[in-house]
Amino acid sequence: MIQVTPGSVSLPDLRRLWHGGEPIQLDPSARPAIEAAATVVAQAARGKQAIYGINTGFGKLASVRIDPDDTAQLQRNLVLSHCCGVGAPLDLGTTRLMMALKLISVGRGASGLRWDTVALLQDLLDRGVTPVVPSQGSVGASGDLAPLAHMAATLIGEGEAFFQGARMSSAEALSRAGLRPATLGPKEGLGLLNGTQFSTACGLVGLFRALDLLNEAVAVSCLSTDAIMGSTAPLHPAVHVLRGHAGQIDVAEAMRAAMAGSEIRDSHREGDTRVQDPYCIRCQPQVTGAALDLLRFAGRTLEIEANGVSDNPLVLTSDGQIVSGGNFHAEPVGFAADQIALALSEIGAIAQRRIALMVDPTLSHDLPPFLTPKPGLNSGLMIAEVTTAALMSENKHLANPCSTDSTPTSANQEDHVSMAAHGALRLGRMADNLSVILGVELLCAAQGVEFRAPLRTSAPLTAAMGVLRAQVPALDDDRYMAPDIEAASALVRDGAIARASGVRLAAAEART
């Protein structure tokens, strides 16, 4: 059981919520504030003053008054009419994180949901009922309306849900889990589907994957450096302290530790005719470190957003007011997603250049062409490098900002939007691409290091190569390559190479 305290949930907590699949429970101290806000809403619903979302229509229809007897139907209609999502369902882990973020948000006591409704959302997480949430349809302002509506639909027994490994109607899933659908009270439908939790959940998952892949990139890049007999002089700590960027300093330190004791490196400290290595070797701390700084900055933004209240209107219990605002606008999340995309793209761009360096006999310092012992008869890793070029280019395209785009919606009432939803969603595809780029770099680097025998790389990097060779044998004659690439990429996705080599600088909690 993971207990969360609204307003103080950390990035490590959020990673656990995404990755663990454990039941989630609000800290009991949150209940009084939730109930106080619900009381304010109930009083407003009985009053004569028009208050948005409680006794009025929505969006452009906010000027239409709703009869008190129609309050429950109003909220139900809102949820059903907004279930307009399309595309493949969001994966279960990210959907559960989205639900947890909504629980944290309403737990702040400013949304006006009754405790029973909050408890039902908590019960869905506890009992493994996960709404089917289509991944497309939000523009990231007025909140993530369509995806969150699909989440809310499950609470009222509509739509579909996953339960015990099967997809079924929400009504059936609730019944099997021993739960009863909710009848929504005033503002509850609006409180559930208004907010940035879809965008924020996708952004957080993109962040966590990017941080993990950055660890892998640092570990694999050390192998690549030894494969081409690159210099470690540019890793001297004074070089990086003089510039002062924390990420750069941390990456250089991690690389020094991973490469310490390498016989390959020691073999060419003297008498090497090369004066400087290409930038993809020499500037690894500067590039990957900059990406790390960017990810840490984005992480702080997403941590704040995860703890915030982003629906509308908000219930200010201190003075009994219900105030319309604009916290649903996901611009901060959109900016963070664009920053993560830049980092993913650049980590892949410099990694691909290292691959190109290793397969090119004019640049690789005496490695055989395309890293095959019998070039000509065999093509070796020639086309694997081409694949990484394609993925690198795709990620460059995907890294173009989404937050600079906007289009008016809802009869021009919502006339500027963040596009944070698909900005965050694309990070998954970019991370998948990057894992393959790094997987191919791993294959190339290991092959290159083995060509340096009898010289050995460092103990940490030898351990990392052992992890690879347990799955993928060295390449001698050409063979069907797709399984090798998938196996190496799977190791990268699992964090196995960084783990074996002791690289841990990009943990989610680092400098946040």
Return the DSSP state at 278: -
Q: Report the C-alpha gap between 274 and 211 in whole angstroms.
A: 33
93: exposed, middle or buried (C-beta count within 10 Å: 0-12, 13-18, 19+)? Answer: middle
Number of Cβ atoms within 10 Å of the Cβ of 479: 10
The one-letter amino acid at 7: G
Max CA-CA distance within the chain?
A: 89
- Which helix (H) or strand (E) covers residue 33, if one does? helix 31-46
Q: Report the C-alpha gap between 201 and 18 in whole angstroms.
A: 9
Q: Are 240 and 255 in contact (CB under 8 A)?
A: no
- Residues linked to residue 134 through DSSP beta bridges, in sequence order: 89
Q: Identify the CA nearest to 243 among candidates 278, 281, 286.
A: 286
* Block residue for tokens 């966590």: 208
Residue ranges in 228-316 assigned as alpha helix (H): 237-243, 246-259, 263-267, 279-282, 284-307
User: Is 480 considered catalytic here?
Assistant: no
Q: Identify the CA nearest to 353 among candidates 221, 185, 487, 497.
A: 221
Q: Report the C-alpha gap between 78 and 273 in whole angstroms.
A: 72
Interior/surface letters 190-214, b for 16+ CB within 10 angstroms, e for the rest: bbbbbbbbbbbbbbbbbbbbbbbbb
* Block residue for tokens 């009754």: 114
Judging by DSSP bridges, how do beta strands 134-136 and 2-4 pair with one another? unpaired
How far is C-alpha 44 from the chain's CA centre?
A: 39
Q: Which of 26, 44, 52, 144 is catalytic?
A: 52
In order, the DSSP letters of 456-483 are ---HHHHHHHHHHHTTSPPP-S----HH
Q: Report the C-alpha gap between 261 and 460 in whole angstroms.
A: 9
In order, the DSSP letters of 160-220 are EEEETTEEEEHHHHHHHTT-------TTHHHHHHSSSHHHHHHHHHHHHHHHHHHHHHHHH
Catalytic residues: 52
